[in-house]
Amino acid sequence: MFGYMTELTAVEIEKTMEITAQGDDMINLLFHFLDEFLFLMCDDPYFIVKEVEILEFDKENFSIRAVGRGELFDLNKHPQGTEVKAITYSNMQIYDENDKHEVYVIIDI
């Protein structure tokens, strides 16, 4: 998602921001998880995330705590890419099998 917003090779790890999200099911949790990270880029000061680390993940109670690592967005340093307007539920999918873990998300740009 952040790769649409800027060139991630230009982003340095200077700061961390922690997010928490809860949902009613796994799809709802994924939506809120991504929305919390999107909010970091939409709130002033704008924070661009290069790396994400999951600190806690409770599949039974649909909650997650994670940290995003990156830096404050600076137009002089970070090329402006496509604005991500919103996370969508449109065709959102989660594959969680023993040997395959994938998510499919369409974002509104």
Under the banding of pLDDT at 50, 70 and 90, the label for residue 70 is: very high
- pLDDT, tens digit, 9 for 90 and up, residues 11-62: 999 999 999 999 999 999 999 999 999 999 999 899 999 999 999 999 999 9
Give per-residue burial for 46-74: e unless 16+ CB within 10 Å, then b. ebbbbeeeeeeeeeeebbbbbebbbbebe
pLDDT at 37: 96
pLDDT at 95: 94
- Do 48 and 104 contact (CB within 8 A), yes or no? no
pLDDT at 68: 97
Largest pairwise CA distance in the chain: 44
- What is the set of domains in the chain, with CATH numbers? 1-108 (3.55.10.10)
Percent residues over pLDDT 70 in the chain: 100
Q: How many whole angstroms separate alpha carbon 96 and alpha carbon 80?
A: 34
